[in-house]
Amino acid sequence: MLVHICCAVDSHYFLEKIQEEFPDEKLVGYFYDPNIHPYSEYRLRYLDVEYSCKKLGIPLLEGSYNLEEWLKKVKGMEHLPEKGDRCTVCYDDRLDVSVQKALELGHDKFTTSLLISPKKSQEKLEKIGDKLTQETGVNFIFRDYRSGNGGQVQGERVKENSLYRQNYCGCLFGLSAQREIQKKIMDEMFNPISNQIMPESIEERLELYQRRNDLEDAGEKYKLIKQRFLNYRLLGGKVSIAKKIVPSYIMCYSTINRNNTNGRIEYTKDGINYLNRDEVKIIDIQTFNLFAGTSYKDVKELMYKPLDFYKELEIRNLIIKNPYDLSALIVLDEIIDDKYEIEINATTYEDIKEEII
- Using CA atoms, how far apart are residues 45 and 111, in angstroms rounded to an integer? 19
Q: Does 9 bind ligand SF4 (CB under 6 A)?
A: no
Q: Which is nearer to ligand SF4, 95 or 346 (CB)?
A: 95
Among 27, 90, 163, 197, binds ligand SF4 (CB under 6 A): 90
Beta strand 281-284 pairing with 272-275 = antiparallel
Nearer to ligand SF4, 77 or 208 (CB): 77
For residue 260, the cross-strand partners are 343
CB of 174 to ligand SF4, least distance (A): 3
Q: CB nearer to ligand SF4: give 88 or 196.
A: 88
Q: From the list 14, 32, 35, 125, which residue makes contact with ligand SF4 (rule: CB under 6 A)?
A: 35
143 burial type by CB count under 10 A (0-12 exposed, 13-18 middle, 19+ buried):
middle
* Of the residues 62, 82, 92, 354, which one makes contact with ligand SF4 according to CB under 6 A: 82
Does 34 bind ligand SF4 (CB under 6 A)? Our answer is no
Residue 174 interacts with ligand SF4 (CB under 6 A)? yes
Write down the least CB distance from residue 171 to ligand SF4, Å. Answer: 3
When binding is defined by CB under 6 A, the residue of 18, 53, 171, 285 that contacts ligand SF4 is: 171
Question: Is 2 a binder of ligand SF4 (CB under 6 A)?
Answer: no
Q: Which is nearer to ligand SF4, 5 or 169 (CB)?
A: 169
Whose Cβ is closer to ligand SF4: residue 82's or residue 301's? 82
Q: Give me the amino acid identity at 151.
A: G
**87 near ligand SF4, judged by CB under 6 A:** yes
Residues contacting residue 151 through CB under 8 Å, at least 6 positions apart = 118
Interface stretch with ligand SF4, choices 80-88, 179-187, 223-231, 346-354 (CB under 6 A): 80-88
In 251-301, which ranges are E strands? 260-263, 265-269, 272-275, 281-284
Instruction: Pick the stretch among 79-87, 220-228, 286-294, 341-349 that binds ligand SF4 (CB under 6 A).
Output: 79-87
CA distances for 175 relative to 52, 101, 323, angstroms: 25, 29, 32
Angle between helices 39-56 and 8-21 (to 10 degrees): 30
CA distance 278 to 44: 40
CB count within 10 Å of CB 280 equals 23
Cα–Cα distance measured from residue 241 to residue 263, given in angstroms and rounded to the nearest whole number: 10
**How many whole angstroms separate alpha carbon 264 and alpha carbon 337?**
7
- Total residues contacting ligand SF4 (rule CB under 6 A)? 10
Among 169, 197, 206, 280, binds ligand SF4 (CB under 6 A): 169
Only one of the segments 84-92, 231-239, 245-253, 276-284 lies at the binding site for ligand SF4 (rule: CB under 6 A); that segment is 84-92
The SS3 call for residue 183 is coil
| Residues within the interface to ligand SF4 (CB under 6 A) | 35, 82, 86-87, 90, 169-171, 173-174
